[in-house]
Structure 1
Amino acid sequence: MSPAASPSATETALVRLFERLDAVHVDVPLLQPAEPYLDSTGEALRRRIFLTRGEAGEVLCLRPDFTIPVCLAHIAAPSALPRRYSYLGPIFRQGRAGEGEFRQAGLEDLGDPDKAKADARALLATLEALAACGLANVETDVVLGDQALFEAFLAGLGLPESWQRRLVRTFGDDVLMRAALADLAQHDGWSLAGLDPALRRLAAGKDVDALIEAVEGLKAEGGLPPHSGRTAPEIAQRLVEKVAFAETALSEDSLSRLREFLAIDCTLDDAPARLAHACGADIDLGRSLAFFAERAQALAEAGVDLSAVRYRAAFGRAIDYYTGLVFEARRPGVPEPLAGGGRYDRLLAYLGAKSPVPAVGVSLWLDRIEAAAR
């Protein structure tokens, strides 16, 4: 919405809703430092960012979302927590059809230690916002996933941390996930051909200090390019991960169980039982499964019909800063979401907050919502 434009009926309805929800409206600059986005959002969003440079040479961007700027604004002028912020305005992303400006509104809920209730509040606010925008009687699919559950399941399978990190990076991307699972099943996803046997032994034993010394020696002897662009510690860590990737394969049973977990697609009221069945007696999801059930209960107590919300174990969103709940609402058969959000408990500390801040938010795509309401 440009400064001279009158607010649309959708925007007016959302402003009223946000006021009723006691959210504090925040305005943030169109130009933002690019580094937080480049470091924390993931490749899918990074490649769509409009970059520029400031007068001092700093890398800037047209804001591609509101979450990071709202968090930065809170860190710069901290207020008592918990606190709910609202926003409304344009974001900028390079689009496939040439479009680059989109209208968004949303909420960022910071600092509530009761994460189950905060997650439920974010989902409930999403449903209320869509209804306020005229979609109460329009069929809408709501789907949620949980990255924390996926991470707990991987740990329960006993995968090396390097493989857990690779699989977590692919969470929500079906193509990359299938490729990673194929590599994991075959042993040969990462070739070790040509790797010095001594380096391989040290990497397999995770003797990082000795590995760094060996890498430095090979560089000095000309066995490795002296100006490869990576330091000896970086090369050593990469070798440890590469050997772990190449030498790890899941048993057929474990791989089958991982695929069974990722195939879970059910209504939210059925999800706890389906998850417990996938885990069996030997995979302990720890606090993650109990928290999942608490969040579902909080939603039910808020009046949400759990049979109308789907849980998909493989569902994620292509933004790296999410740490737990992720969700979207969309029209049936339409790939672009009307709304989407999730939990990002590590983001504020990364951006400079003095201590970790639990946080969850939702963004609403106003142009899509208005088109769906017509």
Structure 2
Amino acid sequence: MTTLRSFSARADIEAILADRNAVRIDVPVLQPAEPFLDTAGEELRRRIFLTQNQNGRAMCLRPEFTIPVCLQHIEGGALSGRYGYVGTAFRQRDAGASEFLQAGIEDIGEADTNAADARSVADALACVSDLGVRADTCEIIIGDQAVFDQVLAALGLPSGWRLRLAHAFGHDATLEATLDRLAHPITMPDLPEPILQAAQSGDSAKLEELITAAMDAASLSNAGGRTPAEVAKRLQAKFAQSQLVPEEAKLDILRKFLSISVPLDQSVAVLRGFEKDNGIDLAPAIAVFEERNKSLIAVGLDLSAIIYNASFGRRLDYYTGLVYELRSRSGDVLVGGGRYDRLLPLLGAEKATPGVGFSIWLDRIAEASA
């Protein structure tokens, strides 16, 4: 078995990826910033290193590999591809260096998504094992964005709140804060009656006109960097939120769902029990979940050694279904991955294209295998 301490060249990592039938791919260090800013979400947006090219286009140092690999796949015009990479990523982290070595595999275009998901998890574990880390010294956690979204839909929450909660999934503190706000209607600020009436009536043009006049009267060119149109839009959204009546029973059901944390071999039974006890329909999501579990068993994984955590998500907005992490005993994330079926169309793919992949944090692997 090769340990990270014993190899001195990236060729060793590349051989491990090749053993998993992944075609080596290189992506430039300097990347257009727009795809990351538009599709990856706030978590990545606030951590990337931005610059400009000679034409004034926003560029960034490569903060991760999934988006660049997907862009190259689209440019190549292939229907499917299985790509392996190793290289340096650049982004600010809460702990650790801002430059760190990553490797991984992206599986794009595989129609059998359950089989592809299972292979992704199995490949991630195999790669880590080849790097000298025993799976029995780590914790494997699985979540599912699609099941969470199905719960939100089944509860019939307002679409605006469903979107907010979906974006917060995977951010424990943000999700809890969003639930708290949903439980307590927003109080509108003390506003002049004409402005309040325009917000209440939904008259955007009138509201913008009144805000512009108020800002001009106060000699303000903007308010906190926002234009009158932006202020009007935010005020209308706040008014809409203030009219929501808390539905405590539905919030209680959602909190019960988020508290589920069981071995994966018990997950389907627990989800069906939750569905029955709370009178909601999760059948489509549970059916996919169950088939994926069968695929995981088919590739030799022990479901009793994997934890399903209903509140677990990964902090990138492009994930759509399975999400997973392999963590060391100290809690460091060694591997993170998941399914991102909406990403390729957002990046310009001409038709719906499924994708799943994982990244390995090689600096953390070195510590875990020491």
TM-score (norm 2): 0.88
Equivalent residues in 2 for 1:1-374, closer than 5 Å:
8=7, 11-81=10-80, 83-96=81-94, 99-136=97-134, 139-188=137-186, 191=188, 193-194=190-191, 196-203=195-202, 211-218=203-210, 222=213, 228=222, 229-230=226-227, 232=229, 238-239=234-235, 241-280=237-276, 282-334=279-331, 336-374=332-370
Cα distance in structure 1, aligned partners of 2:78 and 2:236: 43
Q: Name the counterpart of 2:3.
A: none
Q: C-alpha offsets along residues 307-329 of structure 1, whole Å, 9 cap, x if unaligned? A: 00101111111111111111100
Q: Unpaired segments of 5 or more residues in structure 1? A: 1-6, 204-210
Q: Tell me the C-alpha RMSD between the 2 structures.
A: 2.5
90-99 or 70-79, which moves further after superposition? Answer: 90-99
43-52 or 145-154, which moves further after superposition? Answer: 43-52
Aligned residues between the structures: 357
Q: Unpaired segments of 5 or more residues in structure 2? A: 1-5
How far did 1:193 drift?
4.2
Q: Is the 8 A contact 1:272 1:289 kept in 2?
A: yes
Which 4+ runs in 1 deviate beyond 6 A? 224-227
Q: Is the 8 A contact 1:265 1:311 kept in 2?
A: yes
> Taking structure 1 as reference, are residues 24 and 356 closer, same or farther at Cα in structure 2, changes over 3 Å only?
same
Q: Is the 8 A contact 2:198 2:204 kept in 1?
A: no
Secondary structure at 2:313 match in 1:
coil
Cα distance in structure 2, aligned partners of 1:163 and 1:317: 20
Q: Is the 8 A contact 1:152 1:286 kept in 2?
A: no
Q: Is the 8 A contact 2:125 2:135 kept in 1?
A: no
| Identity in percent | 43
Cα distance in structure 2, aligned partners of 1:146 and 1:358: 16
Q: Is the 8 A contact 1:151 1:168 kept in 2?
A: yes
How far did 1:119 drift?
0.9
190-199 or 53-62, which moves further after superposition? Answer: 190-199
TM-score (norm 1): 0.87
> Taking structure 1 as reference, are residues 301 and 32 closer, same or farther at Cα in structure 2, changes over 3 Å only?
same
Q: Is the 8 A contact 2:36 2:45 kept in 1?
A: yes
Q: C-alpha offsets along residues 246-304 of structure 1, whole Å, 9 cap, x if unaligned? A: 22243322111111000001111111122222223631225222111111111011110
> Taking structure 1 as reference, are residues 252 and 97 closer, same or farther at Cα in structure 2, changes over 3 Å only?
closer
